[in-house]
């Protein structure tokens, strides 16, 4: 499972516009009516089997859940997952897999519809930590 994303196109003046365009292209969600909360820290893949890219996640808040529609062939399925699902007991735990014939264990969110791991987990975990810190300061 992954978040929408992709490369900056020549017609994108900034990565902000890239995030908006890629999200609409991949999942049919128009972020132009959303509230831009900010960009997260840059990340790079930890495995040499992935291209050496730099990922800069952009976070938006929406007033309501719009209908999601997978676009093209990049996305097989799209769905909303509530924040609360990520914080249930034992949801965040090791995810064991075999990569290039080598068994490895990675942190992951074991949700009903699949496991969020890898770069997507590395984007979401600091986001969740930041939200938790803000929430604690306001309570």
For residue range 62-119, list pLDDT tens digits in order: 999 999 998 877 888 999 999 899 999 999 999 999 988 989 999 999 999 999 999 9
Decide if pLDDT at 17 tops 80. Answer: yes
Alpha-carbon span 37 to 123, nearest angstrom: 15
Question: 0.85 cut: is pTM over it?
Answer: yes
- Predicted local confidence at residue 137, as pLDDT: 84
30: confidence class by pLDDT, cuts 50, 70, 90: very high
Residue 134's Cβ-count burial label (10 Å; 0-12, 13-18, 19+) is exposed
Position 24 scores a pLDDT of 94
pLDDT averaged over the chain?
91
Percentage above 90 pLDDT, the chain: 67
pLDDT at 53 over 80: yes
Question: What is the predicted pLDDT for the residue at 71?
Answer: 82
């Amino acid at each position: 499972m992954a978040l929408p994303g992709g490369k900056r196109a020549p017609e994108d003046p900034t990565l902000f516009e890239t995030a908006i365009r890629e999200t609409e292209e991949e999942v049919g969600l128009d972020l132009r009516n959303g509230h831009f909360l900010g960009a997260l820290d840059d990340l790079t893949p930890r495995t040499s089997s992935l291209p050496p890219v730099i990922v800069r996640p952009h976070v938006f808040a929406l007033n309501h859940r719009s209908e999601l529609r997978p676009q093209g062939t990049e996305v097989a399925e799209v769905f909303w997952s509530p924040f609360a699902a990520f914080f249930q007991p034992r949801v965040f735990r090791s995810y064991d897999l075999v990569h290039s014939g080598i068994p490895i264990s990675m942190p992951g969110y074991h949700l009903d519809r699949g496991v969020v791991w890898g770069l997507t987990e590395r984007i979401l975990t600091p986001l969740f930590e930041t939200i938790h810190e803000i929430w604690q300061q306001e309570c």
